[in-house]
């Protein structure tokens, strides 16, 4: 078994094959990282992959015959490093149109995980490459006005993070059923319930162009359905209607368009009437832990 001071890093990149130039730039930024080389697995999610030879970087590819969704695709990438990713100590998950502007991100990850044995996941700061700005929704906590403040958090960003592979061995991977939206929070809650911690680090940066999440056609339906599934899978029974009710009110308060609202309510119904996967309610002490970290699991 490797000692912590020789921590081995891998990276998983999921792509639809429609951003070859951005993907190559991302891989080149991974190749430039200080420290030991990072082995990369690129998963083509229902699409063929272009040639990905990058000097100084070992890249393996997996081409899936169909789009299986973001969590299932990333799970394929995890398993490419052995069961639960056990061939490496830490996996970086990077969006295919992102880029690591600093060469020290990998070494910062190694140092953070080595210093804190209970640290399970690190959420990077996402910044626009032109303006340097970080959107509020990319700061995974309620008090998001200062993206330069690092802190303990209760969730993480799916396309800009690093996770200790022992977390996957302990609690499993991302929920395949979710396809898109909230799969990170599902994994985060299970990890926190198992005793792991999650950090948001403002000094670990992924450049990513500013986009709106609603660019995805399935956004409103998936967000609503998966909110309900998230609660049904993970929360103690008394908190399920509270959590779902709060998000219903927040959605109405944001006054979405009529088509968006129809899609949202369709997903809301689907969340209650379709299987959500295994139910493993978190312990009440985890509820209190989430509350102390600033985000009680009712919002």
118-149, pLDDT tens digit by residue?
Answer: 999 999 999 999 999 999 999 999 999 999 99
Separation of alpha carbons 72 and 180, rounded Å: 9
Question: Pick from 87, 101, 89: which is nearest to 134 by CA?
Answer: 101
Q: Residue 5 has what pLDDT? A: 55
Rounded-to-10 torsion of CA 211, 214, 215, 217: 160
DSSP secondary structure string for all residues of 167-234: HHHHH-S--GGG-SSSHHHHHHHHHHHTT-EEEEEEEEEEE-----GGGSTTHHHHHHHHHHHHHHHH
Where the chain has pLDDT below 50, the residues are: 1-4
pTM of the model: 0.95
For the record, the structure tokens of 224 come out as: 């609503």
Contact of 110 with 35, CB cutoff 8 Å = yes
Q: Residue 216 has what pLDDT? A: 52
Q: Residue 201 has what pLDDT? A: 98
3-state secondary structure of 56: coil
Q: Residue 238 has what pLDDT? A: 98
Question: Pick from 16, 109, 9: which is nearest to 70 by CA?
Answer: 16
């Amino acid at each position: 078994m490797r000692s912590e001071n020789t921590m081995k890093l891998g990276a998983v990149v999921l792509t639809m094959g429609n951003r070859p130039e951005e993907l190559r730039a991302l891989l080149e930024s991974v190749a430039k990282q200080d420290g030991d080389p990072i082995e990369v697995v690129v998963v083509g999610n229902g699409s063929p992959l272009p040639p990905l030879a990058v000097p100084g970087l070992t890249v393996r590819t997996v081409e899936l015959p169909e789009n299986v969704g973001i969590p299932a695709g990333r799970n394929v990438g995890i398993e490419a490093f052995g069961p639960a990713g056990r061939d490496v100590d830490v996996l970086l998950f990077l969006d295919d149109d992102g880029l690591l502007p600093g060469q020290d991100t990998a070494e910062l990850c190694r140092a953070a995980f080595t210093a804190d044995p209970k640290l399970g996941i690190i959420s990077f700061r996402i910044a626009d490459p032109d303006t340097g700005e970080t959107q509020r929704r990319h700061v995974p906590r309620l008090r998001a006005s200062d993206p330069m403040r690092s802190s303990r958090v209760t969730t993480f960003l799916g396309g800009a993070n690093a996770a200790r592979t022992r977390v996957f061995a302990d609690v499993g991977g991302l929920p395949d059923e979710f396809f898109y939206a909230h799969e990170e929070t599902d994994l985060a809650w299970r990890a926190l319930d198992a005793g792991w911690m999650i950090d948001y680090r403002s000094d670990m940066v992924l450049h990513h162009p500013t986009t709106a999440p609603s660019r995805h056609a399935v956004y409103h339906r998936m967000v609503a359905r998966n909110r309900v599934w998230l609660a049904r899978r993970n929360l103690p029974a008394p908190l399920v209607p509270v959590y779902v009710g709060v998000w219903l009110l927040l959605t109405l308060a944001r006054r979405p368009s009529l088509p968006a609202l129809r899609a949202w309510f369709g997903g809301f119904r689907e969340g209650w009437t379709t299987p959500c996967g295994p139910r493993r309610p978190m312990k009440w002490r985890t509820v209190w832990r989430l509350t102390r970290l600033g985000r009680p699991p009712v919002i």
